[in-house]
Chain A
Amino acid sequence: MDKQPGMQKTLFEKIWDKHVVKTIEDGPSVFYIDKHFIHEVTSPQAFAGLKKRGIPVFRPAQVVATADHNVPTLNQHLPIREEMSRKQVDALISNCAEQGIELYGLGHPFQGIVHVIGPELGITQPGMTIVCGDSHTSTHGAFGSIAFGIGTSEVEMVLATQCLLQSKPKLMRITVDGTLQKGVVSKDIVLYILSKISASGATGYAVEFAGSAIRSLSMEARMTICNMSIEMGGRCGLIAPDSTTFEYIKGRKFAPAGVIWDQKKTEWEQLFTDPDAIFDKEYHFIAEDIQPMITYGTNPGMGIGVNEFIPTQDQVHASDKSGLTKSLTYMGLKEGAPIKGQSIDYVFIGSCTNSRIEDLRMVASFVKGRKKAENVEVWVVPGSKQVEAQAIKEGIDKIFEAAGFQLRQPGCSACLGMNEDKIPAGKYCISTSNRNFEGRQGAGARTLLASPLTAAAAAITGKVSDIRELL
């Protein structure tokens, strides 16, 4: 129900109401989109659809493109070897050129994972509506925007009309209060929430994250949380903007400046949930309860503290029993066993969840002066060219080199194993990405999701370790 003027509104509703062009009786709303990010994998069929209809892109200036999902992370200056991947990237280049869309493709200093570059360029701003043909578009919600992933037909709709048909989701608030323990970071918060509410716990909801533990996080850490709101099934995740948000945006390439900045900032300061606004569902968690987390199964809700034991049949919900056996068989793990000490073959530090400069700094500060274990291969894949350049500027590349880590070039890489960066079948990979589905990192690959710190600890010890014992 639409609220009457003067009624208390949530952050989501404030933004939503400003973007409804009209509401179809008994149906969805025509919802206006401010920014549309596109990439090579989910856009070609949408452009083909437009061509078939004989219509151009409606608002090319509101579309930004990059190549990330399918690109190699070594030798990016060379032509892409794999033919199908090359064709997709070429299609993106020609589609953008034909339609006048700004493309930060391979070789461009702004290229990178779509959800890393939007914020870092100041394109992502509070109060906006943002979509992309990629489910982790929820990342941008960390700025207090409504941002969500769409399918290719919807990409076509937005290219054609800058609008989508959307039904208003239900509203959920997840509040995390308190102070995190040392060695516990934002990735652990979101893995902890997932372990409590499950991989479908927020399906149908827009999720606002609130509370003192969330407020105290940096922008990059907030992005990690909103990034994984889709792993709970959430339509989107969002955090009210505050001084941390404004400081992060100010001065970035496409951020407003001068008088417009002041005007925008005043607008953005209105973007918060009113004290008496009502959510359809609320959860509360305590930051002090959260340990460094790790997943043992094949969906991101199957997580435990690193010192805990893999659950047994009688510890999981009745409906999850068959899932547990199937997952553990795939993972080659045993119910009731400790996860700590599990030997690891690969470490992947990257993806739109944890590949920003703060993530790399966090890993580097722990790894400095240490060496990776013999049995592991370590890939660090920065989220963007700018992150890569900054890491080099700060000497982080040297620290990684000395530790035996491979610093690769930006892209999605082993997050989804579309390019050559695949984890071999049966091998264990501790990964800072967001999905541990069967085969996600390569057919038969076994993924354990964790924070950059926990991943770094495993890189040094060669097994699942408690970072708190090493700091």
Chain B
Amino acid sequence: MPLPLQKIKSRFVPLNIENIDTDQIIPARFLKATTREGFGKNLFRDWRYINDDENQPRSEFVLNQPVFSGEILVAGKNFGCGSSREHAAWSLLDYGFRVVVSSFFADIFRNNALNNGVLPVQVTEAFLEKIFAQGPETELLVDLENQSIRILNGEDTSGKEENTETFDINPYKKTCLLNGYDDIDYLLSLKPEIEIFEKQRGGN
């Protein structure tokens, strides 16, 4: 069961790179586990460490810079392209991210994230640039109920339209995420209907 997600107010980690594929998020050699836990330590593994050595962190990489923290990852366009590995979503969640903000998401990643209680927030290019322009102290407020994301940069931004954007989410997925429901429970409840469907089409 995914954790419910309503509002997240947090600093963010900026990863201003486009086309981040799932091989970067979690390289294939770490997919050998048979459980869902423990992937966080290998998140962005090859960008985080030199020669795959945990004692040699790459100081220039954002996850290794203590000034950046928070439950929100902000990334360049076309985040999560590539393989269908759900391990990408598991590693983000396990590391502590609940929200990923980008101007574009790959389809399979979007589904995988939603199925695990990680919210993909798609914003415009301009808004994404604006977030990247903020300092590390700036917090973001992601409000799923209202489908909005706001930049809280210390000033009173309540009246400032340009610091807020709304985002789309499938209403069904939204309900699931707000409550921590899961698709499988819903599908299981439909089993009688599925069986009728199978009978009517005469099997395959």
Q: Is the CB of A85 within 8 A of B32?
A: yes
Quick check: is A200 within 8 A (CB to CB) of the other chain? yes
Contact (A151, B172) CB under 8 Å given A85-B32, A233-B106, A439-B23 = no
Q: Is the CB of B193 within 8 A of A21?
A: yes
Contact (A203, B183) CB under 8 Å given A28-B170, A326-B17 = no
The stretch of B6-14, B77-85, B143-151 that contacts the partner chain: B77-85
Q: Is the CB of B19 within 8 A of A323?
A: yes
Residues of B close to A49: CB separation below 8 A? 184
**Whole-angstrom distance between the Cβ of A390 and the nearest chain B Cβ:** 29
Residues of B close to A18: CB separation below 8 A? 201
The stretch of B58-66, B110-118, B153-161 that contacts the partner chain: B110-118
- From A24, A44, A58, A167, B34 is in contact (CB under 8 Å) with A44
Q: Is the CB of B35 within 8 A of A48?
A: yes
Interface centre among B28, B87, B89, B190 (most CB of A within 10 A): B28
Q: Is the CB of A24 within 8 A of B172?
A: yes
A76-98 interface mask toward B, CB cutoff 8 Å, 1 = contact, 0 = none? 00000010110110010000000
- From B35, B82, B86, B188, A151 is in contact (CB under 8 Å) with B86
Q: Interface residue tally of chain A, by bracket?
A: 35 or more
- From A82, A87, A156, A440, B184 is in contact (CB under 8 Å) with A156
Quick check: is A163 within 8 A (CB to CB) of the other chain? yes
Contact (A53, B184) CB under 8 Å given A27-B171, A161-B194, A199-B81 = yes
Quick check: is A121 within 8 A (CB to CB) of the other chain? no
Residues of B close to A82: CB separation below 8 A? 32
Residues of A close to B173: CB separation below 8 A? 27-28
Q: Is the CB of B183 within 8 A of A418?
A: no
Q: Is the CB of B84 within 8 A of A42?
A: yes
**Whole-angstrom distance between the Cβ of B130 and the nearest chain A Cβ:** 16
B101-126 interface mask toward A, CB cutoff 8 Å, 1 = contact, 0 = none? 00010111001100110000000010
Number of A-B contacts (CB under 8 A): 181
Quick check: is A41 within 8 A (CB to CB) of the other chain? yes
- From A48, A156, A161, A203, B104 is in contact (CB under 8 Å) with A203
Q: Is the CB of B83 within 8 A of A161?
A: no
> A310 to B89, alpha carbons, bound, how many Å?
34
Quick check: is B94 within 8 A (CB to CB) of the other chain? no
How many residues belonging to B are interface residues under a CB distance threshold of 8 Å? 55
> A204 to B122, alpha carbons, bound, how many Å?
14
> A18 to B32, alpha carbons, bound, how many Å?
37
The stretch of A100-108, A127-135, A338-346 that contacts the partner chain: A127-135
> A292 to B190, alpha carbons, bound, how many Å?
50
A264-303 interface mask toward B, CB cutoff 8 Å, 1 = contact, 0 = none? 0000000000000000000000000000000000010000
**Whole-angstrom distance between the Cβ of B148 and the nearest chain A Cβ:** 19
Q: Is the CB of A203 within 8 A of B115?
A: no
Quick check: is A417 within 8 A (CB to CB) of the other chain? yes
Q: Is the CB of A200 within 8 A of B23?
A: no
Q: Is the CB of B29 within 8 A of A417?
A: yes
Residues of chain A from 133 to 150 with CB closer than 8 A to chain B in the complex: 133-135, 149-150
Q: Is the CB of A160 within 8 A of B188?
A: yes
- Could you name 28 residue pairs across A and B whose Cβ atoms are closer than 8 Å? A21-B193, A24-B172, A27-B173, A32-B197, A49-B184, A53-B184, A53-B188, A82-B32, A150-B108, A151-B84, A151-B86, A151-B112, A153-B86, A153-B183, A160-B188, A165-B183, A169-B107, A199-B81, A200-B78, A200-B81, A203-B107, A322-B18, A417-B29, A418-B28, A418-B32, A437-B21, A439-B27, A443-B52
Residues of chain A at the chain B interface (Cβ within 8 Å): 18, 21-22, 24, 26-28, 30, 32, 34, 41-42, 44-45, 48-49, 53, 55, 58, 62, 69-70, 82, 84-85, 87-88, 91, 128, 133-135, 149-154, 156-157, 160-165, 167, 169, 199-200, 203-204, 233, 235, 299, 319-320, 322-323, 326, 416-418, 435, 437-440, 443
Residues of chain B at the chain A interface (Cβ within 8 Å): 16-19, 21, 23-24, 27-29, 31-36, 46, 52, 77-78, 81-87, 89, 104, 106-108, 111-112, 115-116, 125, 170-173, 182-184, 186-188, 190-191, 193-194, 197-198, 201, 204
Q: For the A-B complex with A69-B31, A299-B21 known, give 17 more contacts whose Cβ atoms are closer than 8 Å.
A: A22-B190, A24-B172, A49-B184, A70-B32, A88-B32, A133-B84, A153-B86, A165-B183, A199-B78, A299-B81, A319-B18, A322-B16, A417-B29, A435-B21, A437-B82, A438-B24, A439-B24
